[in-house]
Structures are given as C-alpha cells and as structure tokens.
C-alpha cells in the first residue's frame, strides 16, 4: 500500500492539504497538513482518528501516527508551494551547485520555466531548477 498516495487522496476530501509525509524509525508515520486559516488541535484529532480507521481498513501497519501542522518554517515541496508563497522569505538547499553554491536564502519571486526565482541579497534574482532543489523551507518573519 502506497501510504503517500492514500493520504493525497484522503486529506483533500476532508478539507486539508498534505504538505509532507515522513516515515519514522520504528515504523511510524508523520503527517504534516494545512488548510486556509491554519491547523488547530481539533483538526489534528479529527484527521488522526480518521486515518487510524482508514489504515485499519486498508491494512496499513504502523507503530505510531503523528498528525500536525507544517509549522511557521513550512517545507516547500511542490511548484504550487513556491507560487503560493511568492513574496515570502525562504531557504533553499540544492542538490548540485548553482553559481558555485548550494545554500540560498532570499525572497521567493515565483516560478518560471520550471525554475524557482529567488531574490537574494543585493536584489539579484537566482533561478533554481525545481528538479535541483533538495530542501526548501519558509523562513518566518517576525
């Protein structure tokens, strides 16, 4: 059973977006979800109870299930994430160097031709191919 696919098909029907999914050591699952207006404790309880029943029906074996919001430093996984959070600060780590570096911090400036546009220090725009992104997260502003 592909648990990620199961979650991608289930959460939208409940009104939530699957942000990320991790398998933990010891056979557990960690589910990060979001919705407009943010996630409450009640949302986590509702989804946890629903997934517990769903996993039983689908014979998904697991030791532990954690359901939570993605947090202020939300991971950016899909092209739509980079578009949605344009204008916000982010940190991006690449698989291969871009302009002789692999770590970038700046303001998201959208996506064009399969590349994330990131405005870095000095107002310079760096284009980072989506396929070259290893990790990306929002950087909270206070």
Please tell me the distance from the alpha carbon of residue 41 to that of residue 110, in angstroms, as a whole number: 32
Q: What pLDDT shows up at residue 55?
A: 96
What pLDDT, in 10s, does the model give residues 84-141? 999 999 999 999 999 999 999 999 999 999 999 999 999 999 999 999 999 999 999 9
Q: How far apart are CA 131 and CA 88, in angstroms?
A: 21
Assess contact for 129 and 115: CB atoms under 8 A: yes
Q: What is the mean pLDDT of the chain?
A: 95
Q: What percent of the chain has pLDDT over 90?
A: 95
If you classify domain 3-68 with CATH, what class do you get? Answer: alpha beta
Statement: 75-138 belongs to CATH 1.10.510.10: no
Contacts of 38 (CB under 8 A, 6+ apart): 69
Taking the CA atoms of 76, 82, 87 and 89 in sequence, report the sign of the dihedral they define: positive
Say how far residue 122 (Cα) sits from the centre of its chain.
28
Domain boundaries, the chain: 3-68, 75-138
């Amino acid at each position: 059973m592909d648990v990620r696919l199961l979650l991608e098909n289930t959460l939208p029907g409940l009104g939530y977006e699957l942000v990320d999914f991790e398998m933990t050591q010891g056979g557990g699952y960690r589910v990060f979800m979001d919705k407009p207006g943010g996630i409450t404790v009640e949302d986590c309880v509702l989804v946890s109870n629903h997934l517990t029943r769903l996993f039983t029906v689908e014979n998904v074996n697991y030791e532990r299930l954690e359901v939570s919001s993605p947090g202020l430093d939300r991971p950016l996984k899909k092209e739509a994430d980079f578009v949605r959070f344009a204008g916000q600060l982010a940190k991006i780590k690449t698989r291969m160097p871009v302009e002789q570096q692999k770590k970038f911090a700046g303001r998201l400036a959208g996506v064009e031709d399969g590349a994330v546009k990131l405005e870095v220090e000095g107002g310079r725009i760096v284009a980072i191919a989506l396929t070259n992104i290893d990790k990306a997260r929002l950087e909270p502003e206070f």
